[in-house]
């Protein structure tokens, strides 16, 4: 009987392993373990055996059942996986079809440049200050040491607003007016940057707009020096344009600073060798200087005690150079074909 059992085990295991489908395996299970199977017959005959044989054969029956069940389960898993794999082949998708992309927004290049610049200066301890875009003559001109007959004040250069009884109101020509408002409202030390819109009476062309953006910086404290200005702007230039950048200062005139300077940065594209972006290897980036003593006095500061530096950066200029935008008017046109190219830039 044990021999018959052994033979049946071998036969059943082979039967399971040869099953090609789950249905076939099902049939094999009925055949090998069903009510009318040899195995079942042997199991049923156990009762007729004497106790010793019954124990021995019974143990063997249990072992064979366990073996058969394991073989059955193993084969079933394989067949199930094969069946599923067949389904997955049918479930195949053309992965080159367009994905379901959520609508993607984009920051305006001027926002990108402004934020970067603000981040650099705030990381140095500067605070952002803001002021009105419609300014009065005193804050926009007089306090900045621009006397009443300065050429910058003619109707040609500035845009004025028509407000009854207020001929002194105009659209600010520089963010420098924020310097004055800041100094009027606090004592030194002052470390602020003022990003914002400014206005000039310029007919739009590829390099001019009547509305553009600046970032003004102001530092006033006891003992602020020209070296502080140079150091701050060098850190800024490296942060904005790369650690290899150098800066170069040349004398320049702005009524509200003395000494004044124009600051050039070695070209970020050609590293100063000269290319079609910069021409000479240097990009004139901003105007700066030591705050004019008259400006400090106008704000109630003592210029013998407090000294300071100020600088002004054109945001459009940085955006045009960096992104090689050929015409400044493109920045205010709202052309989504241009602007959506900034989806990858934050």
Partner 1 sequence: MRIVWSWLREFCPTEHAASELAERLTLHGVKVEEVLRPWEGVQDVVVSRIVKVEDHPASEKLTVVTVDDGTGEHVVCAGVRNYEAGDLVPWARPGARVPVLPEPLAPRDMGGVVSHGMLCSPRELGIADVHTGILVLDPGTVVPGEDLVAALGLDDEVLDIEVEPNRPDFLSVLGVAREVSALTGTPLVDRRPPLEESEEIAADVATIQIDALDGCPRYVARVIRGLGEGTTPIRAQARLTACGMRPISAVVDATNYAMLELGQPLHAFDLHRLAGPGIVVRRAAEGEPLRTLDGVDRTMTDGDLLICDVERPVAIAGVMGGATSEVNDDTVDVLLESACFTRTGVLRTARRLDLHTEASHRFERGTDPEGLEAGADRGAQLMAAWAGGSVARGLAEDGSAPPRRHVSIRPSRASALLAYDVPRSDVEGVFDRLRMTHDASGGDDGDGERVDVEVPGYRVDIEHEVDLIEEVARVLGYDRIGTHVPPTGQAGGVPAGYRFRSRAVEALVRSGLCEVRLMTFASADDLAMTGHTDGVPVANPLQADDAFLRTRLLPGLVHAVARNQARGVPDMAIFETGTVFRLDGEEVVERQHVAFALAGMAGEHWDVEPRPFDALDATGVLEALLTTLAVRNRRLGDPPGMPFHPGRAATVLVGDAPVGVVGELHPRVARDRGVEGRIAACELVLDSLLPVAAGSVVVTEPPRFPPVRRDLAFVVADDVAAGEVRAAIEGAAGDLLGRCVLFDVFRGAPLDRGTKSLAFAVELRALDRTLTGEDTDPVVNAIVERVEREFEAKLRAG
Site for partner 1 in 95-154 (CB under 8 A): 97-98, 100, 102-108, 110-111, 115, 118, 121-130, 132-134, 149-151, 154
CB 118 within 8 A of CB 130: no
What residue spans of 19-50 are helical by DSSP H? Answer: 22-33, 38-44
Nearest distance in Å: CB 300, partner 1: 18
Nearest distance in Å: CB 177, partner 1: 13
**What is the pattern of x (binds partner 1, CB under 8 A) and - over residues 203-242?**
xx----xxx-------x-x-xxxxxx-xxx-xx-------
* Number of neighbours of residue 160 by Cβ within 10 angstroms: 16
**CB-nearer residue toward partner 1: 160 or 323:** 160
**What is the pattern of x (binds partner 1, CB under 8 A) and - over residues 59-98?**
--------------------------------------xx
**What is the pattern of x (binds partner 1, CB under 8 A) and - over residues 13-52?**
----------------------------------------
164 counts as binding partner 1 under rule CB under 8 A: yes
Q: Which residues contact 336 (CB under 8 A, 6 or more apart)?
A: none
186 counts as binding partner 1 under rule CB under 8 A: no
Q: Which residues contact 73 (CB under 8 A, 6 or more apart)?
A: none
Nearest distance in Å: CB 345, partner 1: 11
Residues between 264 and 323 that touch partner 1 (CB under 8 A)? 290, 292-294, 307
The torsion angle over the Cα atoms of residues 207, 209, 215 and 219, rounded to 10 degrees, is: 90
Q: Which residues contact 183 (CB under 8 A, 6 or more apart)?
A: 190, 218, 220, 296, 299, 300, 301
252 counts as binding partner 1 under rule CB under 8 A: yes
**CB-nearer residue toward partner 1: 34 or 231:** 231
**CB-nearer residue toward partner 1: 39 or 309:** 309
Return the closest-CA partner of residue 335 out of 110, 124, 108, 60.
108
**CB-nearer residue toward partner 1: 89 or 97:** 97
CB 16 within 8 A of CB 28: yes
Contacting partner 1 (CB under 8 A), which of 49, 169, 270, 277?
169
Q: Is 156 exposed, middle or buried (0-12, 13-18, 19+ CB in 10 A)?
A: exposed
């Amino acid at each position: 009987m044990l021999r018959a059992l052994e033979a049946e085990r071998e036969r059943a295991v082979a039967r399971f392993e040869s099953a090609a489908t789950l249905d076939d395996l099902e049939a094999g299970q009925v055949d090998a373990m069903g009510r009318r199977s040899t195995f079942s017959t042997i199991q049923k005959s156990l009762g007729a055996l004497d106790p010793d044989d019954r124990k021995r054969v019974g143990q063997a029956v249990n072992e064979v059942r366990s073996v058969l069940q394991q073989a059955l389960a193993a084969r079933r898993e394989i067949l199930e996986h094969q069946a599923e794999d067949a389904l997955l082949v049918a479930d195949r998708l053309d992965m080159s079809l367009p994905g379901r992309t959520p609508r993607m927004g984009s920051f305006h290049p001027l926002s990108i440049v402004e934020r970067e610049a603000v981040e650099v200066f705030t990381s140095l301890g500067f605070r952002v200050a803001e002021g009105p875009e419609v300014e009065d003559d005193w804050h926009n001109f007089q306090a900045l040491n621009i006397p009443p007959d300065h050429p910058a004040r003619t109707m040609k250069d500035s845009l004025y607003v028509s407000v009854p009884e207020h001929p002194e109101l105009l659209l600010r020509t520089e963010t420098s007016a924020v310097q004055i408002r800041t100094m009027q409202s606090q004592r030194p030390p002052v470390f602020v940057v003022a990003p914002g819109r400014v206005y000039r009476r310029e007919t739009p062309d590829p390099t001019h707009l009547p509305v553009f953006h600046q970032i003004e910086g102001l530092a006033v404290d006891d003992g602020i020096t020209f070296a502080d200005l140079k150091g701050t702007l060098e850190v800024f230039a490296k942060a904005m344009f790369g650690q290899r950048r150098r800066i170069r200062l040349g004398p320049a005139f702005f009524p509200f600073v003395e000494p004044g300077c124009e600051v050039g940065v070695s070209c970020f594209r050609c590293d100063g060798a000269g290319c079609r972006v910069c021409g000479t290897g240097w990009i004139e980036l901003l105007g700066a200087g030591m705050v004019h003593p008259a400006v400090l006095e106008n704000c109630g500061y003592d210029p013998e005690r407090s000294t300071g530096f100020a600088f002004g950066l054109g945001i459009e200029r940085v955006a045009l150079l960096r992104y090689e935008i050929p015409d400044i008017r493109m920045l205010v046109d709202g052309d989504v074909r241009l602007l959506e190219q900034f989806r990858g830039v934050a």
